[in-house]
A and B are shown apart, each in its own frame.
Chain A
């Protein structure tokens, strides 16, 4: 599909999110291409998480348009519709179903018809099992498959949630600080996982860890006070004076 390859997967035009007098997003525009690993950085309160919230339907925009796959407007869709249309969200704190097994967590998340009747009649088919098994392998939790998800370590929970979102076969994967609280070894595993996952979908990652961003990023967007500050490769961004100024006050990029 050469034509759809050229068009952007996701277009956000001039979106504003206002809470009372405070503008969490202020005329922010954003484009996402197919199969892209895109990092979002910026000081605390820059609006990064709010932006992810907007994309998955948790927060509604006050103004502006979001189009997905050329013509789908998602700004008025309920969360579950957005998810069904192919935008998957991984939350900052691991958000899984602790009392279900790891396998059951994936089974529920799997792309399938999710209406009442569909679920009532659902059985676990062989092809479903294979999909779950291969996802378990990708996130490295094959041995833990039958364990209650609540008993996993913090890092494993994060991978499980990423695996759950991937089971939805999303076109856009939204990740909020996926390596927060991880050991160095876990960080590396997560980075490899992201590189692998972007073969199947576009990924937007909010991240504070600059070493991690430097190592895995292609395109980086810097946000500040709800607006776009700069966009480019990590080198370009580090050379940008405005970015330096914003971050020097915070003492972050070095």
Chain B
């Protein structure tokens, strides 16, 4: 294994090539396409965070839409205030509000808003993680809880129309720090900002999983009891990883909403939350690189199919998912292994993503 491991076949190498390609692509694409790809890059940040939690630590969250949503909504609230130029946003006036609620006033400070877009999801995850993991709630029971969290939060957002815009969401997002969100220049800057954030997040995560902490994560996934009897308080470790993962989801939501210019409850509901786990599964759990590709390819695919075959695109996406799951149950990252295995005439293949219990 060691003899011919050149840089370009390592995760760092492949990711670097990907980043270079993504940095060049805007030159070749329309403004619209660049903007679209920028949103997918934001999704990739979330996918990396979800992989830390699910792929490495074995804790499946189907509630990341909500952490993403906190980031997106808090950022959107700030942008809405800035776009309204000191006045009340339209939807508040229609709901009969006369002044900005205190929470909104707090979020009119950009530093507070952008920090809280990351800190609020982290706080919610810490709280949920602390009580569930400490009480040994795990596996499918934890996953169901995360789904319940999504339902609760989405219902809350829809019912509090005067504060959140209800099911219409926040739609009047025009300027951020004085720059027009609809201008291609602003969007190009946001594209590169997202690309840089993704790069930092990826390399930091890679460093984390290769450290002793990363080994503890894998040990929790494969033998939590053994680890507990080795002197680790595994509940604390799981809470920290869950919190970190939620923070990355918030960051992702923040960058996403700046690029799409709207946020609605449907973007953060149950279905998107499950799709997020699908990106990780399709790319390859426990690989970090796979989920990045998973997020980019799954979203590019659904965009392409929905434009080209508007009537049947959901079926085509479903078909693509099924094909990947059947032929590459451990995700796209195992393509390389499969090919070398074929060439060498089959050899015990044990690499990549142990099937984690759902």
Contact = CB atoms under 8 A, between A and B. Distances in A.
Interface of A: 56-58, 78-80, 83-84, 88-89, 91, 95-100, 104, 107-109, 114-116, 119-120, 122-124, 148, 150-151, 161, 164-165, 168
A235 to B, nearest CB: 35
B215 A104 contact: yes
Contacts of B229: 56-58, 79-80, 83, 88-89
B212 A96 contact: no
Interface in B196-233: 211-213, 215-216, 218-219, 221-223, 225-233
A119 B216 contact: yes
21 contacts: A57-B229, A79-B229, A80-B232, A80-B233, A83-B229, A95-B226, A97-B218, A97-B223, A97-B227, A100-B218, A104-B215, A108-B215, A108-B227, A108-B230, A114-B231, A115-B233, A119-B212, A119-B237, A120-B213, A122-B213, A161-B226
A148 B218 CA distance: 13
Nearest to B233: A80
Contacts of B211: 120, 122
A58 B228 CA distance: 10
B56 to A, nearest CB: 10
A98 B222 contact: yes
A83 B219 contact: no
Among B212, B226, B229, B234: residue with most chain A CB under 10 A:
B229
A228 to B, nearest CB: 26
Nearest to B236: A116
Contacts of B216: 108, 119
A107 to B, nearest CB: 7
A43 B333 CA distance: 51
A122 B210 CA distance: 12
A144 to B, nearest CB: 15
- A-B CB proximity, top 7 nearest: A83-B231, A122-B212, A95-B226, A84-B231, A97-B219, A79-B228, A109-B230
A95 B213 CA distance: 20
B76 to A, nearest CB: 33
Interface string B138-163: 00000000000000000000000000
B11 interface: no
A134 B254 CA distance: 51
A86 to B, nearest CB: 10
Given A107-B215, A116-B237, A119-B212, A99 B230 contact: no
Contact of A119 (B213, B218, B228, B354): B213
A96 B231 contact: no
A108 B212 contact: yes
Given A116-B240, A120-B211, A150-B350, A83 B230 contact: yes
B138 to A, nearest CB: 15
Nearest to B219: A97
Contacts of A168: 230-231
A31 B228 CA distance: 25
Given A80-B232, A100-B219, 8 more contacts: A56-B229, A83-B228, A97-B226, A114-B233, A148-B350, A150-B350, A161-B226, A168-B230
B218 A114 contact: no
A107 B212 contact: yes
Among B212, B236, B240: residue with most chain A CB under 10 A:
B212
Contacts of B234: 80
A109 B222 CA distance: 14
A166 B196 CA distance: 45
Contacts of B232: 80, 108, 114
A99 B222 CA distance: 8
Contact of B219 (A108, A116, A148, A165): A108
Contact of B350 (A122, A123, A151): A151
B226 to A, nearest CB: 4
A120 B209 CA distance: 11
Contacts of B215: 97, 100, 104, 107-108
A155 B223 CA distance: 19
Nearest to A90: B229
A122 B354 CA distance: 26
B120 to A, nearest CB: 21
A122 B214 CA distance: 11
Contacts of A58: 229
Interface string B236-276: 11001000000000000000000000000000000000000
Nearest to B239: A116
A46 to B, nearest CB: 23
Contacts of B223: 95-98
A71 to B, nearest CB: 20
A194 B46 CA distance: 49
Among A96, A104, A114: residue with most chain B CB under 10 A:
A114
Contact of B222 (A88, A89, A97, A116): A97
A56 B211 CA distance: 28
A58 B227 CA distance: 13
Nearest to B220: A97
A99 B225 contact: no
Nearest to A97: B219
B221 to A, nearest CB: 8
A114 B220 CA distance: 14
B330 to A, nearest CB: 13
Contacts of B213: 119-120, 122
A91 B226 contact: yes
A52 B75 CA distance: 54
Nearest to A57: B229
A119 B225 CA distance: 18
Contacts of B240: 116
